Amino acid sequence: MGKLFAVVLTIITVVATAIFVMRVWWLPADISVHGPWIDHQLMETMLSSGILFVVSQLALALFVWKSGDRREGRKIKIFPGGAVPMVVLATVLVGAEILALTFVGSKVWASIYQTPPDPNSLAIDVQAEQFAFYFRYPGADGKFGGIHPELMNEASQNFFGLDPAHDTAARDDIVVPTLAIPVNRPVLLTLRAKDVNHAFYVPELRIQQDFVPGLVIPLHFTATQPGKYELVCTQLCGLGHYNMRAYVEVMPQEQFDQWLKQQAAQQ
Amino acid sequence: MHEAAVHPHAPPQGFLRTHVFSVDHKVIGKQYLDLALVAVCTGMVLSWLMRLHLAWPTAAIPGLDKLSPNGAAGGVITPEYYLSLMTMHGTIMVFFVLTTAPFAGFGNYFLPLQVGAEDMAFPRINMTSFWVTLVAFLVLISSFFVADGPALSGWTAYAPLSAVGKDAGPGQGLGQTLWAISIAIFCVAQLLGALNFIATTLDLRTKGMSLARMPFSTWAWFITAVIGLIAFAVLMPACILLILDRVAGTSFFIPSGLVISDRLQPHSGGSPLLWQHLFWFFGHPEVYIAILPGFGIISHILPVFARKPLLGPRAMIGCLIAIAFLSYTVWGHHMFLSGMNPFSATLFSVPTLIITIPATIVTLLWIGTIYGAKLRFTTPALFCLGFVSVFVSGGISGFFLAQPSIDTYLHGTYFVVGHFHFVMGVAAMFGIFAGTYFWFPKMFGRMMNETLGKWHFWLTFIGVYCVFMPMHYLGLAGNVRRYSAFTDDYLKPLIPLHRFITIAALFTGAAQLIFLFNLIRSRFRGPKAPDNPWEATTLEWATTSPPPFDNFGGKPPVVQRGPNEYGVAGAGGADYLMQAAPEPAPAR
């Protein structure tokens, strides 16, 4: 029975690890400036914890294999050195790993969430609601109009609660259901939730952030590859949660300028 | 033991007092376990329905429309009903299975026995806490039958979705209120239970049972009770505030300016993050409430079948205490991306990573105990070995999620689902299975069937790896969780893997029928169990199977030594020394 356990556990360990190593299912290619740091941190963690996983499972398998030995007169054996070296070793090894991961990892985290955005960032306002995302560009005046929740209305498509009648800054605001951004230009999003929690997640951009009602949350990144990507909601928001999505279109600057003009004309 | 602490009640007369409204900790323990059995069957059926829907979203499930004519018209699960099934699955499993069985169930039955007491310190409070738990369960289940269905905001019930009421869509009416009421009631029961566990451990230990001589399982239940006392004391008021937001017009968790269904909500001044902080201040310790009894059970059982003492007993207890302490410093790791101050992410990340040190030590101590052992491969032993394996698998993925920078990608994906199912779901279940196969002879005086037990183990062990390992691959590919269907372009290629998981889940679930059959059949037909069938050292094996009403027949045992005396020269050529056995004559 011990040998069977050891064999089954070894097979499980080898198969599970092989699927990771062969990258049968893997992250989509990164398209952001900060993404390679996250991927690097992920690989570091994958490597160290992968070794820990394989070594612990195989040690368990090996010891179980050997402990099934039924020879007459075999005596039990205490682990060499007892518990103390084991405790010290685990504390030092895992401790060192934690320190290494924390020092590098907090820099990666800080570069995304704690550093101020580039002053030349393109500012875009994002509103999440059950079950859609809307994006607002400031228009020719470079200013966003004020937000008035009491004016928000789905039927008249006033998703942001703008008041163009009294608010000149709001008059040229461009509101669209797709997030278009120029490639290689820093983007600063301002996340607002209209009703409940939502989240902003674009796997290729390696970025995720909750929308929280009552909070205005900045999020900045730079996309490096033109293309069309899916933005999905990752915070449970109600029955249509699974269907809440938008597209992110990354395009060259000239094409973006053109696109913005077209959208302005259609408002 | 204090004289006054000898419990005064005599054996009850009559069926109701003996089997239903009993103050006997053994009956109450079995009642908790029976409740958990009903709950786990319910929770597992819900997970089957979810898995079927994820793999084949348009498939009609026969008979489901009878349970919910709106949620599953024609048997096809709607997106909102899927979320309700998910919410109920999580709530039932976390509260009524993973908290109820390993802590309240086994703890109630065996903690007094293991410390040599005749009962819990407060038997009537003990009985009350079970019946209050049952009321909480019935309130939760009743939400299946209310008009707009059970709550759908997940077992975490994030506000404002859970707080604003009907405007936020189906599942946000009476169902959500019942959810909050049920959990608040459950908290009351747990607080009463925790007080009882702590008082019993501290005050009712028999002569010679010093803290250092307590079995590892007793230590784990005691520490779990301390964690629970603090954790549930926070969740209960949080649930009451949520109920007030829902029914009394308060705004604890609802800020101003919310527009739902084109209606400006009449609330102002609340904070959705407050709910998350309160919930996770309970929620993370809750993970340890679910798994620490498993640690104790494995540390208790493994030496019995290894026929050698647990390696590093003091280190083990030190690690349990360290984990309990650290569990209160890490709740923010659930909230890295919640909009809380990003500077605090590092603050919460470091203790989260530090927890891996005691967790690693504990695992190494188990593996080191198996080294050079003479393992007896009984069913409970196999589940102990399986526990170590799945705990390693689930713990390793915690390394990823503890780091905010990686969580940026993996948060909200199936990687998280795979992680917590392994580490607190499957591992805790393996602890429950090990405990059941191990203690069944003591509880019912009959042995369980070993052949069926082994089939159950092998199918379950292989099954859970097929179900939960692939979830990590899905998470790496960015597969979002809590989706009732995968309509996004990048998710469609992952559907075949979801189908594999569904098939594996159905098979693994079917394997549990072997356990259920074995459990019921052995209760009536199993061969008679001796007092100490596994040759174990602790006090529960020093009395009859099952124990008499006062546990030790009026003769409280006097403890001579710790619980870890395996691989020693015992009486009559035995390789162990029971805790209360007199000192054997020195070998010549």
The residues facing A127 across adjacent strands are A134, A192
Q: Which of A45, A59, A212 faces B338 most closely, judged by CB atoms? A: A212
B330 touches chain A (CB under 8 A): no
- A245-251 vs A179-182, strand pairing mode: parallel
Does B46 reside within a domain?
no
Using the beta-carbon criterion (under 8 Å), do B337 and A42 form an inter-chain contact?
no
In B, which residues are within 8 Å of A26 by CB distance?
476-477
pLDDT, average across residues A104-128: 94
Does B194 reside within a domain?
yes
Using the beta-carbon criterion (under 8 Å), do A76 and B307 form an inter-chain contact?
yes
Per-residue confidence at B14, pLDDT binned at 50, 70, 90? confident
CATH code, domain with B96 = 1.20.210.10
Closest among B3, B114, B24 to B543, alpha carbons compared: B114
Interface of B with A in 50-89 (CB under 8 A): 78-80, 83
Query: d(Cα A251, Cα B148) in Å, to the nearest integer?
Result: 45
Using the beta-carbon criterion (under 8 Å), do A63 and B367 form an inter-chain contact?
yes
How many other C-beta atoms can be found within 10 angstroms of the C-beta atom of residue A132? 18
Closest among A94, A115, A117, A114 to A45, alpha carbons compared: A94
Does B307 reside within a domain?
yes
Say if CB B405 and CB B430 are below 8 A apart: no
What digits encode the pLDDT tens for the residues B235-254? 999 999 999 999 999 999 99
Does B420 reside within a domain?
yes
- The DSSP secondary structure of chain A, one letter per residue, reads -HHHHHHHHHHHHHHHHHHHHTTSS-PPPP-BSSHHHHHHHHHHHHHHHHHHHHHHHHHHHHHHHHHT---TTPPP-PPTT-HHHHHHHHHHHHHHHHHHHHHHHHHHHHHHHTSPPPTTPEEEEEEEETTEEEEEE-TTTT-PPP--GGG-BTTTTBTT---TTT-HHHHT-EEESSEEEETTSEEEEEEEESSS-EEEEEGGGTEEEEE-TT--EEEEEEB-S-EEEEEE--S--STTGGG-EEEEEEE-HHHHHHHHHHHHHH-
**Total number of domains in chain B:** 1
Q: Across chain B, what does the average pLDDT equal?
A: 94
- Domains of chain A with CATH codes: 2-68+80-113 (no CATH), 122-266 (2.60.40.420)
Say if CB B262 and CB A153 are below 8 A apart: yes
Distances (CA, A) of B159 to A200, B91, B269, B273, B375: 18, 16, 13, 8, 50
Secondary structure tally for chain B: helices H, strands E: 17, 2
Range of weakest confidence among A37-46, B45-54, B167-176, B362-371: B167-176
Using the beta-carbon criterion (under 8 Å), do A232 and B458 form an inter-chain contact?
no
Q: What percent of chain B has pLDDT over 90?
A: 89
What digits encode the pLDDT tens for the residues B299-336? 999 999 999 999 999 999 999 999 999 999 999 999 99
What digits encode the pLDDT tens for the residues B68-106? 888 898 999 999 999 999 999 999 999 999 999 999 999
Q: Which of B345, B396, B567 faces A52 most closely, judged by CB atoms? A: B396
Using the beta-carbon criterion (under 8 Å), do A63 and B476 form an inter-chain contact?
no
Using the beta-carbon criterion (under 8 Å), do A196 and B160 form an inter-chain contact?
yes
In B, which residues are within 8 Å of A149 by CB distance?
256-259, 264
Sheet with strand A186-193: strands edge to edge: A174-176, A132-137, A122-129, A186-193, A217-222
Using the beta-carbon criterion (under 8 Å), do B486 and A242 form an inter-chain contact?
yes
In B, which residues are within 8 Å of A211 by CB distance?
339
Distances (CA, A) of A157 to A161, A162, B38, B53, B127: 9, 10, 49, 34, 58
Using the beta-carbon criterion (under 8 Å), do B399 and A74 form an inter-chain contact?
no
Higher pLDDT, B335 or B15: B335
Range of weakest confidence among A5-9, A78-82, B305-309, B402-406: A78-82
Residue B320: strand, helix, or coil: helix
Q: Which of A48, A79, A201 faces B371 most closely, judged by CB atoms? A: A79
Does B210 reside within a domain?
yes
CA angle, B26 then B29 then B35, to 5° = 140
Q: DSSP assignment, residue B19?
A: I
In B, which residues are within 8 Å of A239 by CB distance?
78-80, 83, 152, 169-171
The distance of A227 to chain B (nearest Cα, Å) reads 14
Q: Is a pLDDT exceeding 60 seen at residue B5?
A: no
Expressed as residue numbers, the domain containing B421 is 79-256+267-573
Using the beta-carbon criterion (under 8 Å), do A28 and B458 form an inter-chain contact?
no
Does B359 reside within a domain?
yes
Specify the pLDDT at position A50: 95
Per-residue confidence at B1, pLDDT binned at 50, 70, 90? very low
Q: Is a pLDDT exceeding 70 seen at residue B6?
A: no
Query: Could you tell me how many CB contacts below 8 A there are between chain A and chain B?
Result: 311
Specify the pLDDT at position B172: 86
The distance of A44 to chain B (nearest Cα, Å) reads 10
The distance of A134 to chain B (nearest Cα, Å) reads 15
Specify the pLDDT at position B69: 87
Specify the pLDDT at position B4: 44
pLDDT, average across residues B177-196: 97
Interface of B with A in 475-504 (CB under 8 A): 476-478, 480-490, 494, 497
In A, which residues are within 8 Å of B476 by CB distance?
25-27
Does B4 reside within a domain?
no
Per-residue confidence at B9, pLDDT binned at 50, 70, 90? low
Does B357 reside within a domain?
yes
Q: Which of A84, A98, A232 faces B488 most closely, judged by CB atoms? A: A232
Task: Find which of B274, B307, B405 to mutate to test the A interface (most A CBs within 10 Å of its CB).
Answer: B405
Q: Is a pLDDT exceeding 80 seen at residue A73?
A: no
Query: d(Cα B157, Cα B482) in Å, to the nearest integer?
Result: 13
Among chain A residues, the shortest Cα distance to B567 is held by A76
In B, which residues are within 8 Å of A220 by CB distance?
none
Q: Is a pLDDT exceeding 80 seen at residue B395?
A: yes
Using the beta-carbon criterion (under 8 Å), do A105 and B357 form an inter-chain contact?
no
How many other C-beta atoms can be found within 10 angstroms of the C-beta atom of residue A171? 15
Specify the pLDDT at position B2: 47
In B, which residues are within 8 Å of A240 by CB distance?
79
Specify the pLDDT at position A122: 97
Residue B552: strand, helix, or coil: coil
Using the beta-carbon criterion (under 8 Å), do B158 and A197 form an inter-chain contact?
yes
In B, which residues are within 8 Å of A78 by CB distance?
308, 311, 372
Using the beta-carbon criterion (under 8 Å), do A86 and B368 form an inter-chain contact?
yes
pLDDT, average across residues B355-383: 96
Q: Is a pLDDT exceeding 70 seen at residue B587?
A: no
- The DSSP secondary structure of A77-115, one letter per residue, reads -PPTT-HHHHHHHHHHHHHHHHHHHHHHHHHHHHHHHTS
Q: Which of A77, A94, A110 faces B356 most closely, judged by CB atoms? A: A94
Specify the pLDDT at position B261: 87
What digits encode the pLDDT tens for the residues B283-300? 999 999 999 999 999 999
pLDDT, average across residues B190-206: 97
Q: Would you call B445 exposed, middle or buried from its count of C-beta atoms within 10 A (0-12, 13-18, 19+)?
A: middle
Query: d(Cα B145, Cα B159) in Å, to the nearest integer?
Result: 23
Q: Is a pLDDT exceeding 90 seen at residue A76?
A: no
Q: Is a pLDDT exceeding 70 seen at residue B160?
A: yes
Query: d(Cα B239, Cα B217) in Å, to the nearest integer?
Result: 31
The residues facing A200 across adjacent strands are A209
Calculate the CA B162 to chain-centre distance.
24
What digits encode the pLDDT tens for the residues B441-488? 999 999 999 999 999 999 999 999 999 999 999 999 999 999 999 999
**Neighbouring C-alpha atoms within 13 Å toward the C-beta of B425:** 21
B352 touches chain A (CB under 8 A): no
